Structure 1
Amino acid sequence: MAPPLSRRSLLQAAALAAATPAIGYPATGRASAAVQEAQAVTAVPAGWSVQPFALDDVALRPGLFADKRQLMLDHARGYDVDRLLQVFRANAGLSTGGAVAPGGWEGLDGEANGNLRGHYTGHFLTMLSQAYAGTGEQVFVDRIRTMVGALTEVRAALREDPAVLSVGGRFGTAAENVRGSYQYVDLPAAVLGGASAITLSAWVKPTHAGNWARVFDFGNDNTRYMYLAARNASGIPRFAVTTNGPGGEQGIDGTAALPLDQWSHLAVTIADGTGTLYVNGTAVGRNTAMTLTPAALGTLAHNWLGRSNFDTDPVFAGAYDEFNVWSRALTAAEVSDLQSRRAADASAGRGDLASYAFDETSGGTFADASGRGLTATLLRTWGGPSHPGFLAAYPETQFIDLESRTTSDYTKVWAPYYTAHKILRGVLDAYLTTEDARALDLASGMCDWMYARLSKLPEATLQRMWGLFSSGEFGGIVEAICDLHAITGKAEHLALARLFDLDRLIDNAAANTDILDGLHANQHIPIFTGYLRLYDATGEQRYLDAARNFWGMVVPHRMYGIGGTSTGEFWKARDVIAGTISDTTAETCCAYNMLKLSRTLFFHEQRPKYMDYYERALYNQVLGSKQDKADAEKPLVTYFIGLTPGHVRDYTPKQGTTCCEGTGMESATKYQDSVYFKAADGGALYVNLYSPSQLTWAEKGVTVTQTTAFPREQGTTLTVGGGSAAFALRLRVPAWATAGFRVTVNGRAVSGTPTPGSYFTVSRTWRGGDTVRISMPFRLRVEKALDDPSLQTLFYGPVNLVGRNSATSHLQLGLYRNAGLSGDLLPSLTPVSGKPLHHTLAGTEFAPFFEGTEDPTHVYFKRSEPRVIFGNSDSGVANPAKSDGTTLLDEIWAGAPFSSKGALVTRVRSTVNAWVAAGRLSRADGQTVVRTAEHATYAR
């Protein structure tokens, strides 16, 4: 067995495709056994010709990204993590300390019964890890340790039988059922004793207003039973007994709802055909025609406190103090006497059929003081204990149900392996940040548990599961498992990663067969980043081919101008852009995952298009998805970004805890993850993004400081610090940089012609103080929707400019009226003084998409050039068009840039002659157009 990975190697390994934070944090405890026995593996896959830097190697400097990140860092510092842990602790039957889950998707009351709860905690752990990597602030490590400690306690509790949660009671101590714990009290079959007269009495403190939650329910099934519900459909207590199902119930209803978080006494008496319901010593309901008694029910199999014989009813949430059963009907005076003292001290005495005081402070049983020895047992509705390694905020039942499910129903099963991925990624990142062995043990245990479960399933079952929309979604779990395998070296972990192969998807993508139409976008994008990691681990070419081809099916064929993809979470047919625009386009998670896939592909193949896309999506959708506003409760990140006219971004969708808020928290704390890469042999430094930052390249003994206000500045300056080092500096020439890309070193121009959509290389031995200046002038351009060239969006350099206008129909805009000889459309717009990158056109202000405001916006507009105009000179001639929509002006300006006014006029004359000859333009109008072009004055 080879020695374990070094601290630095562990951190670098985890940076990989996920940009997991790697930091120099001092160890505070021993490394886990899993690490001590790990096989030696390289820090990054051997096949990567280019490697990322760890997050702590790249520091953000003041600027656009640092400002956005600060908002999220403030949220990370201040948010109460006990609120996130609430659902985990509740699931394990542990005290939640009064914490309230965030709500939305992260809580029991959220969408689909809260079936995705726990995902947000994983995101938060990753955010904290990245926040520490970027800032070094101790507060983030402290919060991580708090969360890891709590999750460790939760997993341990899930492995044990449930234990009483003792709280202060009405008289002494009480037993609490935390909402979400699925716990109830099971009583022996003889508890009712076949009595023909009976009194049942309980002190309860409900903590949730769940209709039909039972105080008690004695029955066999949904036919023979006797129950007392704290709330019926009307929200008031109800007692009922039946031998013929709900239609045969003989019942008594209360008159008012029980107060929450207060003790209430409930009692029911039955004798001589009369039943009475008491609340706090007062008779609130009476039925004088009751023919049924416990004797009529016979011996019952299910005798429960807190659980219903109807599976869809909620478990009672709250506390119990005293439950007594007497074989007679207590008098009104005796019931009243129970209000002020224990039954043992009251006139009625303890129940002779059963008597539980709930004074126990540990264990999982409750002693019976009636003398009948009917010990009660605390149980979970889903059985248990859970299997080794299991960790979630809900029981294993979702995972079990998925294995036999053939159709999706997210109210029953909502992507349990997706949630598992988020938790796994979070605890793995926590380990890499703090070296807390507990976090690695949690991560490794989760994967051991998944392997034990999935490895037993037939291949056909796995393929069916992973092909189910929503229920079978597993996110980026393959990537996380591969990252864990790089640390543990356990063969089972690599085998587990391969159990998530979705063969139909892989094989079609590997063959470059596009089957994306109708698929859920974010269910499938992160799968391919995982398959790239499997290629690294196994060398199977189909994984790489599938990922590469898949990327090409999305970019540009299903990509909106801002870099996003999907509409209503799904993909439509290839090359349909205008036809898919809606209020629910561009799910933010999709952009997050496309960025991860793009950078991981770049590690294998240095195709500039991957980083061109990265810049597009990062500088537009990802930055624009974060609101420019502080909030202690919400991260303020969009779910969808509607591209319909006048859309207003919603930064708090579904109460602010969706998948996109989760990935948004991560995005905002790793903006620096792809600014710089290095060649595997150390011979080159790739500068991919122009962002104020400082790189510490320890292996070379140098720093590289980038000083810029980009994209508000059309260039950047790189300054080398430290000693001397020989390497090639590879500067990305953006595909949009058609107006010239110029490089100087120490004031001298570098020879060579930079080509847009490539990398420009400067090789030398660099010394401290060397300065590289890059100039990249912006031009205003349009990008056309693939299926409707008249629907266009504006870009100024890398920045998408959006109109701020409340109109709900597409703006009709012309741009040729004052176009420059270079082809730049910017002269047709008017700059806004004091607001960089802001312009006006036709009375509408256009601003950068990255500004996170709540203004109504127009990302796309309708191109309208009704007349032929040059240099603001209107010819008065209507602008004719071909059948495909191409206009005369389109064809003229397609020849830009023009070296001079004469060159433009020559282009106008030749184009006009062709259109006149084709009968699309009269000779007289053509002559007018040429004369207007000759007399106009043009911007450069």
Structure 2
Amino acid sequence: MESRLKELPLGKIKLSDGPIKSRFELNKSYLMSLTNDNLLRNFYLEAGLWSYSGNGGTTSATTSNMDGPDHWHWGWESPTCELRGHIIGHWLSAAAKIYAQTQDPLIKGKADYIVNELARCQESNGGEWLAAFPQTYMHRIAAGKFVWAPHYTIHKLLMGLYDMYAAAGNAQSLKIMSGIADWFYRWTGQFSVEQMDELLDLETGGMLEVWADLYGKTSDEKHLALIRRYDRRRFFDALLAGEDCLTNKHANTQIPEILGAARVWEVTGEERYRNVVEAFWRCAVTERGYVATGAGDNGELWMPNMDMAARLGVGQEHCCNYNMMRLAHVLLRWTGDASYGDYWERRFYNGVLSHQHGATGMISYFLGVGPGSQKTWGSATQHFWCCHGTLLQANASYEPQIFMEEKDGISICQWIPSELHHRRADSNLTIRIEQDGQYGIYPLNNWSVSGMTAITKVDMPPIPVHRPDHFVYNITISLDSPSTFDLNLRLPWWISGTPIIRVNGENPLDAAPMEPSSFVQVRRAWKDGDVVKVELPKTLKTEPLPGNSGMFAFMDGPIVLAGLTHEERILVGEPSQPEELLQPDRERNHSWWNPGYYRTKRIDRGFRFIPLYEVKDEMYSVYFSHKSVGDRME
């Protein structure tokens, strides 16, 4: 179905050198460090292609160079864990997307080899079934006996195979998917509609989405039948009836089902599925609200509508964060509504970047916002939580959200340094987004050559005396020949004044609207070398906690701040005037500014604030209460 915005072909958008790309590369390095044998071991076991001899070798001639158990994958990938096998799907999905952006032959060769080995396992299993666990798991759940999420695990495998086909051009992976679909078509054919509803009430994962993906490529009636069978009718109908069917339910059960409904609408055009998606967003986000990071979940459960003060526990789950970002991206494509881009941005800085250790690249399953929160980091091979898998995917796929295309032009939806290379109207078009080094967001602050030049040369533009109150981006247009089109710029929710937009240094653009959470349109006959300079004003702000207006979090532009304290603290001043509560701290470090660095005012035992994404092992809090200056105890 037609959407307002369209994703550009994979590989057209490249991240520019800098801190965000460094995160991408950190994730890529970790991805490549996981060995083929370890990723495939449980599939080999199930297919009868490998057995361990007990002396560090193998008794099967079909595999080689297997390390002993001390080097294996454990945690949720252990041979004794019912969820085993999920990580390979995440791995393939991430590898496919990284290859699409980088054309790195090493990652393509590794991923293609793994797909080929999975095909060998499928053949050994009889040509259809493929999983790291036996078919009996499916028969057990059909009998109402508990198994830990077999649909979830197979969905991850199918998702990875689909991405290998769609993003990396591996035709074999689509053939494997079709074989698995044949098995599920026969298996589900024995159940009535009522029996399928009972089965899906137990657990469904994201199966609806992968069947829709497959049907979109094959138009096979069997795959359409699987879409019908995996329609989550009871849940979808409750949403359409306006019920709150989320509170206290497992959050990452429902989100993949809704992503499935979204994909079904796109491949079938049936309006009911779009209505389901929009009803879910109202229930999960609009009516529920969210904490400053964007999360409406805590401890894997949806929190009550606009009543979250009693739920500041272990915090948001990374899987929920990533999947809600995916859903926001879908809705942005469908509608062109900038508020969905705002939501994605909020969860990017305060979710994806905040859940990942900036030095090791490892994942924190949960991210708390209450007093005395602390991130708990997973390891490279000993945990493999579900969030470990979505970490791989989230940090492999920043780029589709940056630029998107619409009928009359290009939209910049995220302010991430990058380049678009695209052919439009018979002309080669390049659009480059650069972040001004003296007026920018620098997660993972690193050495800045441009900043170094600014502090050594006397003929450079003057450096601001104090930390700037705006972010500056330069957009450079390169064209073979002049071309007229719209350049649509998202103005974020956090701007604190009127943005300034200049083309080639001329007077500020006089355009309407120039409101937060909107797109401003710049239409002109563009020529090679045109530069658009965008200044986005920002300030320190507070956001109240849904359900308790006396508790609040601090934000510096899109960045949630974390107070480095291990206990609940009361600040002195009025939240409506955050400069009464905090003052700038360590605002500059050599050649760059430190956005989000503050310290408390007027209290004993003061403490510092830093961006939530920079917290590693420190204890911290995001929400605080206050007393007025007149009530301050001496």
TM-score (norm 1): 0.59
Q: In structure 2, what is the equivalent of residue 730 of structure 1?
A: 488
Q: CA deviation at 1:815?
A: 4.4
1:866 CA drift (Å): 4.4
Contact kept, 8 Å, 2:317 with 2:366, in 1: the verdict is yes
Query: What is aligned with 1:462?
Result: 196
1:448-478 deviation per Cα after TM superposition (whole angstroms, max 9, x unaligned): 221221133111111111112xxx131x322
Q: 2:96 touches 2:164 (CA, 8 Å); kept in 1?
A: yes
| Counterpart for residue 339 of structure 1 | none
The equivalent residue for 1:867 is 630
Q: What is aligned with 1:416?
A: 150
Deviation of 1:827 after TM superposition, in Å, equals: 8.5
Q: Secondary structure at the match of 1:655?
A: coil
- Deviation for aligned residue 1:432: 3.1
Structure-2 residue corresponding to 1:132: 99
- Other-structure match for 1:495: 225
Separation in structure 1 between the aligned mates of residue 322 and residue 276 of structure 2, nearest angstrom? 19
Aligned to 1:560: 291
Please give the alpha-carbon distance, in whole angstroms, between the structure 2 residues aligned to 1:665 and 1:639. 13
Larger Rg: 1
- 2-structure distance, mates of 1:541, 1:427: 28
Please state if 1:538 is matched with 2:274: no
3-state SS, counterpart of residue 223 of structure 2? helix
Corresponding position: 1:506 with 2:236:
yes
Asked if structure 1 preserves the Cα contact closer than 8 Å seen for 2:582 and 2:598, the reply is: no
**How far off is 1:813 after superposition?**
1.4
Q: Which residue of the other structure, out of 685, 699, 720, is the alignment partner of 2:477?
A: 720
Could you list the runs of 5+ residues in structure 1 that have no partner in the other structure?
A: 1-45, 160-387, 869-875, 879-940
Match of 1:674 in 2: 401
Please say if residues 794 and 800 of structure 1, whose CA atoms lie closer than 8 Å, have aligned partners that are also in contact.
yes
Say if 1:744 and 1:114 are closer, same or farther in 2 by CA, change over 3 A: same
How far did residue 826 of structure 1 move?
Answer: 7.9
Identify if the C-alpha distance between structure 1 residues 799 and 815 changes in structure 2 by more than 3 Å, giving closer, same or farther.
farther
Task: Measure, in 1, the Cα distance between the counterparts of 2:362 and 2:176.
Answer: 30
Q: Which residue of 1 aligns with 2:164?
A: 430
What is the CA-CA distance between 1:124 and the residue it aligns to?
Answer: 0.7
- Residues 1:623 and 2:353 are matched in the alignment: yes
Does the 8 Å contact 1:832/1:840 carry over to 2?
A: no
1:657 to 370, 374, 384: 384
Instruction: Confirm or deny: 8 A CA contact 2:129 2:179 kept in the other structure.
Output: yes
Which of 562, 569, 573 aligns to 2:304? It is 573
Moved more, 563-572 or 147-156: 563-572
Deviations 1:681-708 (A, max 9, x none): 3x12111111100011223420100001
Aligned residue identity for 2:501:
V
Q: 1:824, 1:768 → 2: CA distance?
A: 44
The separation in 2 between residues aligned to 1:773 and 1:792, in whole angstroms, is 34
From 73, 84, 98, give the equivalent of 1:102: 73
Equivalent AA in structure 2 for residue 674 of structure 1:
Q
**Which residue of the partner structure matches residue 399 of structure 1?**
138
Residues 1:765 and 1:426: Cα distance change in structure 2 (over 3 Å): same
How far 1:852 sits from its partner (Å)? 5.0
Unmatched 5+ residue regions in structure 2? 51-62, 443-469
Q: Aligned ranges for residues 528-927 of structure 1 at < 5 Å?
A: 528-556=258-286, 557-583=288-314, 585-630=315-360, 636-652=362-378, 655-679=382-406, 681=407, 683-700=408-425, 701-708=428-435, 710-712=440-442, 714-723=471-480, 724-748=482-506, 749-753=508-512, 754-805=514-565, 807-808=566-567, 810-816=568-574, 825=579, 828-835=582-589, 836-837=594-595, 838-842=597-601, 843-851=606-614, 853-867=616-630
Superposed CA offset, 1:694-736 (max 9, x none): 0112234201000015424712111001222221111111121
Give the residue type in structure 2 aligned to 1:567.
N
**Worse-superposed segment, 707-716 or 390-399:** 707-716
- How many residues align? The count is 572
Distance in 1 separating the partners of 2:618 and 2:115: 40
Structure 1 512/684 Cα, relative in aligned 2: closer, same or farther at 3 Å? farther
In 1, are the aligned partners of 2:215 and 2:267 still within 8 Å (CA)? no
Contact 1:55/1:670 (CA < 8 Å) preserved in 2? no
Cα distance in structure 1, aligned partners of 2:37 and 2:258 = 34
CA 458–47 in structure 1, closer or farther in 2 if over 3 Å, else same? same
Asked whether the 8 Å contact 1:702–1:725 carries over to 2, the reply is no
What corresponds to 2:461 in structure 1?
none
Distance (Å, rounded) in 2 between the aligned partners of 1:441 and 1:586: 37
Q: Residue deviations 1:327-379, cap 9 Å, x none?
A: xxxxxxxxxxxxxxxxxxxxxxxxxxxxxxxxxxxxxxxxxxxxxxxxxxxxx
1:449–1:622 distance in 2 versus 1, CA, 3 Å: same
1:442 aligned counterpart, secondary structure: helix
Instruction: Say whether the 8 Å CA contact 1:127–1:665 is kept in structure 2.
Output: yes
2:27 is equivalent to residue 72 of structure 1? yes
Give the structure 2 partner of residue 482 of structure 1: 212
Give me the whole-angstrom Cα distance separating, in 2, the residues matched to 1:668 and 1:752. 35
With normalisation by structure 2, the TM-score equals: 0.86
Percent identity over paired residues: 27
Give runs of ≥4 in structure 1 deviating > 4 Å: none
Q: 1:698 to 1:586 in 2, by over 3 A?
A: same
Residues 854, 155 of structure 1: alpha-carbon distance in 2 compared, 3 angstrom cutoff: same
Tell me if 1:445 matches 2:416: no
Aligned twin of 2:13: 58
What is the distance in 2 between the residues matched to 1:426 and 1:565?
27
CA distance in 2, matches of 1:158, 1:815: 67
**Following TM superposition, by how much is the alpha carbon of 1:549 offset from its aligned partner in structure 2, in angstroms?**
1.9
Partner of 1:326: none
Code of the residue aligned with 2:341 in structure 1: it is: M
Amino acid in the other structure paired with 1:396: Q
- Separation in 1, partners of 2:304, 2:78: 36
DSSP-derived class of the 1:772 partner: strand
Give deviations 1:474-500, integer Å, cap 9, x for gaps.
Answer: 1x3222222222222212112212221
Instruction: Name the SS of the counterpart of 2:75 in structure 1.
Output: coil
For each residue in 1:773-824, what CA deviation from the matched residue of structure 2 results, as whole angstroms up to 9, or x when unmatched? 110111111111111111111101111111122x23x22113449x8xxx66
Which residue type is aligned with residue 839 of structure 1?
A: Y
Deviates more, 1:795-804 or 1:724-733: 724-733
Q: Which has the higher helix share?
A: 2
Asked whether the 8 Å contact 2:552–2:624 carries over to 1, the reply is yes
Counterpart Cα distance in 2 of 1:866 and 1:456: 70
Measure, in 2, the Cα distance between the counterparts of 1:512 and 1:697.
43
The worse-fitting range, judged by mean Cα deviation, of 143-152 and 530-539 is 530-539
